[in-house]
Amino acid sequence: MEVKARAPGKIILAGEHAVVHGSTAVAAAIDLYTYVTLRFPLPSAESNDRLTLQLKDISLEFSWSLARIKEAIPYDSSTLCRSTPASCSEETLKSIAVLVEEQSLPKEKMWLSSGISTFLWLYTRIIGFNPATVVINSELPYGSGLGSSAALCVALTAALLASSISDKTRGNGWSSLDETNLELLNKWAFEGEKIIHGKPSGIDNTVSAYGNMIKFCSGEITRLQSYMPLRMLITNTRVGRNTKALVSGVSQRAVRHPDAMKSVFNAVDSISKELAAIIQSKDETSVTEKEERIKELMEMNQGLLLSMGVSHSSIEAVILTTVKHKLVSKLTGAGGGGCVLTLLPTGTVVDKVVEELESSGFQCFTALIGGNGAQICY
């Protein structure tokens, strides 16, 4: 049997960093996906006693005997319940880490270890100790702030849960899970994100699971319904960043300048709320007018992010290039590198700006904003 699943990446449209200080943030799914294919062997197959993970994008394969996994990961049949998402204990995580270490990851790929640990935890908790080959490939650049880890957790969980659904409709292409299964999927994916990030906000996995857009404030996540198309150019600066250090830097600035930074955070909150109102609006305002308002909000948001100290020379280089083409851009995510969003108003031709950006060593994608969430295919 073969099951396929896919889950989208995400962008932050407005509110990054300020959200940590109580402001509203708006995030959205993009039509760049991580794909997971789950294959179960026939009982007579030679591989029916192994669990294999293939990472196609980086040409790596890992394989464990089921006996070794059972030996390393505590198992109690009474606690195996896919309908009750569970956190991975520190003790179990250490045991899983040993399984990962035994695979002898290349030093330059050690950043993959938390993702592989997440794979082993989600697989054994949802499926149990059954043989399979799991193939993962992604359209999302790793570590760029586009939610690649959440997309992995969501797509993997979707495939695992879908394998146990008795009513399988074959041959009809990609289909979404129902609300009950989506809620369960999102909770399991969040547990996976905790292994990778420690204390995630839940924004990334929620956007990836449900798709479209969400509003997030003080721990409360609200799903939004967009009534206008949004198209963005996403530019990956290829500059790595230390998210923890950037968040800490903003907090330290807020301590040094409490009144000024409070005003900055309040302004970001207003921008996020206005942006959410525009994309949800059903009024007769033309798409062009709405796009103009969004351009101004993005421009203001980038100015506020610059005042927080989280921009970077690579980000400013992208912004200067897009400005020459009369386009507005802002960083998305932690800043300090990572990715930049450029709004593409209706009818915009991007060939020249993409050519110029890529000639400077940047990586460009065009994406529709606010699309589908997790989907499965048999």
Number of domains present in the structure of the chain: 2
Mean pLDDT, residues 262-286? 94
pLDDT at 47: 64
pLDDT at 62: 95
Active site residue 204: yes
C-alpha distances (whole Å) from 160 to each of 131, 148, 154 are 13, 18, 10
Residue 369 has pLDDT above 80, yes or no: yes
Same domain, residue pair 172 and 67:
yes
The answer to whether 301 and 14 are in contact (CB under 8 A) is yes
Tell me, what CATH number does 96's domain have?
3.30.230.10
Pairing of strands 132-138, 213-217: unpaired
The answer to whether 151 and 372 are in contact (CB under 8 A) is no
Query: Structure tokens of 343?
Result: 């709004």
Range of the structural domain that residue 183 is part of: 2-225+372-377
* Chain centroid offset of residue 109 CA: 20
Give, in degrees to the nearest 5, the angle at Cα 148 between 290 and 95: 150
Q: 284 falls in which pLDDT band (50, 70, 90)? A: confident
Pairing of strands 50-55, 132-138: parallel
Q: Which residues contact 223 (CB under 8 A, 6 or more apart)?
A: 206, 210, 212, 213, 214
For the segment 46-102, what is each residue's pLDDT rounded down to a tens digit?
668 899 999 998 899 999 999 999 998 876 655 567 888 989 999 999 999 999 999
Same domain, residue pair 320 and 351:
yes
pLDDT at 55: 95
- Give the DSSP letter of residue 40: P
pLDDT at 234: 97
Same domain, residue pair 152 and 18:
yes
Query: Structure tokens of 276?
Result: 């959410």
For the segment 219-265, what is each residue's pLDDT rounded down to a tens digit?
899 999 888 889 999 999 999 888 888 999 999 999 999 999 999 99
Same domain, residue pair 143 and 55:
yes
Residue 42 has pLDDT above 80, yes or no: no
For the segment 161-211, what is each residue's pLDDT rounded down to a tens digit?
999 775 565 557 899 888 999 999 999 999 999 999 888 888 899 999 999
pLDDT at 145: 85
Residue type, 186: N
pLDDT at 53: 96
Same domain, residue pair 285 and 191:
no
Determine phi and psi for 104, rounding to 5 degrees: 55, 60
pLDDT at 244: 82
* Chain centroid offset of residue 184 CA: 18
- Cβ burial of 310 (10 Å; 0-12, 13-18, 19+) is buried
Q: Choose, from 204, 259, 269, 283, the residue flagged as catalytic.
A: 204
Cα–Cα dist 18/201, whole Å: 13
Query: Structure tokens of 99?
Result: 């399984």
pLDDT at 21: 94
Q: 378 falls in which pLDDT band (50, 70, 90)? A: confident
Same domain, residue pair 115 and 38:
yes
Same domain, residue pair 240 and 212:
no
Same domain, residue pair 191 and 267:
no
Cα–Cα dist 372/378, whole Å: 18
Tell me, what CATH number does 323's domain have?
3.30.70.890
What is the three-state SS of 335-378? CCCCEEEEECCCCCCCHHHHHHHHHCCCEEEEEEECCCCCEEEC
Same domain, residue pair 241 and 170:
no
Mean pLDDT, residues 4-32? 95
pLDDT at 79: 56
Same domain, residue pair 123 and 259:
no
Same domain, residue pair 214 and 242:
no
Same domain, residue pair 193 and 55:
yes
Mean pLDDT, residues 15-29? 94
